[in-house]
């Protein structure tokens, strides 16, 4: 499909999606949100894709929701806009394929929320993170008050959201937002490396691991372990489990076949 605001490329089981509005720091308007949703739905259904990478073109990952578009919105329109963002970001959490954020620059407001909706984040040394909505007289509206506090704890999330401050990639790593930080010129190749490693695993076990972690995260430990037990058992319904264990015993690399 042809998109106006995003770039999508695919090679060797990895799909790279880039927000492509560099003249507006890749700000998210309604159209970008809908295009991302459509691309992710398509990639999630594509058996040739094992892992999706999300990044931004130019010097921003995404510098937030589009302030120009939001300026004249009334409460009804703001609610609709928020809903589009929530549908997209909830979908990312439910995608069967892992999705990794390669944060190449500013990830502010809705941009940070978009990165947090990915499974994990690698960032360039010069990337910047923050929830500056408070400076605009609003609060985070694409799940920032929820995903961020679940990820780093309420006190850290409150400090960031109340002050509207901006932090470096290194600071974001220290508080658990970012997994790894790389020089800008190697960020994408490093993300592709981890994506290739993940894509070499069994699609079924990846899917079950992702859903067990995410579904289990929001329930009590006993219910979470029960989700894990059922997911674990389901692994034995596919040849991948026999292949993985046989390969270990035969001292060779496994060739997983689940889609």
Q: CB pairs under 8 A, 24+ apart, for 216-220?
A: 217/150
Regarding beta strands 51-56 and 99-103, do their DSSP bridges make them parallel or antiparallel, or are they unpaired?
parallel
Nearer to ligand DAK, 134 or 234 (CB): 134
CB of 39 to ligand DAK, least distance (A): 20
Q: How far apart are CA 250 and CA 26, in angstroms?
A: 49
Nearer to ligand DAK, 67 or 227 (CB): 67
Q: How far apart are CA 26 and CA 125, in angstroms?
A: 19
Count Cα neighbours of 87 within 13 Å in the Cβ-side half-sphere: 14
Residue tagged active-site, from 12, 31, 96, 133: 133
Question: Could you tell me which residues are beta bridge partners of residue 53?
Answer: 16, 100
Find the binder of ligand DAK among 6, 51, 53, 65 (CB under 6 A): 65
Q: Note if 159 is an active site residue.
A: no
> Which residue is listed with tokens 């990846």?
206
The interface with ligand DAK within residues 9-48 (CB under 6 A) comprises: 24-25, 27
For ligand DAK (CB under 6 A), the number of binding residues is: 24
Q: Note if 113 is an active site residue.
A: yes
CB of 169 to ligand DAK, least distance (A): 15
Candidates 1-9, 10-18, 77-85, 145-153 — which segment interacts with ligand DAK by CB under 6 A? 77-85
- Best CA proximity match to 55, nearest among 152, 184, 176: 184
Give yes or no for a contact between 85 and 117, defined as CB atoms under 8 angstroms apart. Answer: no
Nearer to ligand DAK, 50 or 132 (CB): 132
Nearer to ligand DAK, 67 or 198 (CB): 67
The answer to whether 81 contacts ligand DAK (rule: CB under 6 A) is yes
Find the binder of ligand DAK among 54, 109, 173, 195 (CB under 6 A): 109
Residue tagged active-site, from 9, 35, 113, 185: 113
CB of 164 to ligand DAK, least distance (A): 8
The interface with ligand DAK within residues 162-181 (CB under 6 A) comprises: none
- Taking every pair of Cα atoms in the chain, the longest distance, rounded to a whole number of angstroms, is 65
Candidates 50-58, 91-99, 128-136, 210-218 — which segment interacts with ligand DAK by CB under 6 A? 128-136
The interface with ligand DAK within residues 83-102 (CB under 6 A) comprises: 85
Helix then strand then coil, % of the chain, to nearest 5: 55, 15, 30
- Best CA proximity match to 165, nearest among 174, 178, 173, 156: 156
Q: Alpha-carbon torsion 149, 154, 158, 159, what sign?
A: negative
List residues binding ligand DAK (CB under 6 A): 24-25, 27, 63-68, 70, 78, 81-82, 85, 106, 108-110, 132-133, 136, 138, 141-142
Q: Which residues does the annotation mark as catalytic?
A: 113, 133
């Amino acid at each position: 499909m042809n998109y106006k605001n995003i770039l999508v490329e695919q090679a060797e089981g990895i799909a790279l999606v880039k927000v492509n509005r560099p003249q507006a720091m890749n700000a998210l308007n309604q159209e970008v949100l809908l295009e991302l949703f459509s691309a992710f739905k398509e990639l999630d259904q594509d058996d040739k894709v094992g892992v999706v990478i999300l990044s931004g073109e130019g010097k921003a990952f995404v510098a937030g929701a589009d302030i120009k578009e939001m300026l004249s919105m009334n409460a009804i329109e703001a609610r609709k806009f928020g809903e589009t963002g929530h549908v997209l970001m909830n979908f990312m959490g439910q995608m069967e394929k892992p999705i990794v954020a390669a944060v190449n620059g500013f990830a502010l407001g809705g941009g940070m929320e978009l990165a947090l909706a990915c499974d994990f984040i690698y960032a360039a040394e010069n990337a910047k993170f923050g929830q500056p909505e408070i400076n605009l007289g609003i609060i985070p509206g694409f799940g920032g008050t929820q995903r961020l506090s679940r990820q780093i704890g309420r006190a850290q999330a409150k400090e960031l959201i109340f002050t509207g401050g901006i932090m470096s990639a290194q600071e974001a790593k220290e508080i658990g937002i970012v997994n790894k930080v790389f020089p800008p010129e190697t960020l994408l190749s490093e993300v592709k490396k981890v994506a290739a490693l993940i894509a070499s695993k069994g699609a079924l076990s990846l899917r079950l691991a992702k859903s067990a972690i995410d579904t289990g995260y929001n329930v009590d430990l006993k219910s979470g372990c029960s989700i894990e037990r059922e997911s674990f058992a389901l692994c034995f319904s596919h040849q991948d489990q026999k292949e993985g264990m046989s390969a270990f015993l035969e001292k060779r690399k496994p060739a997983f076949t689940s889609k």
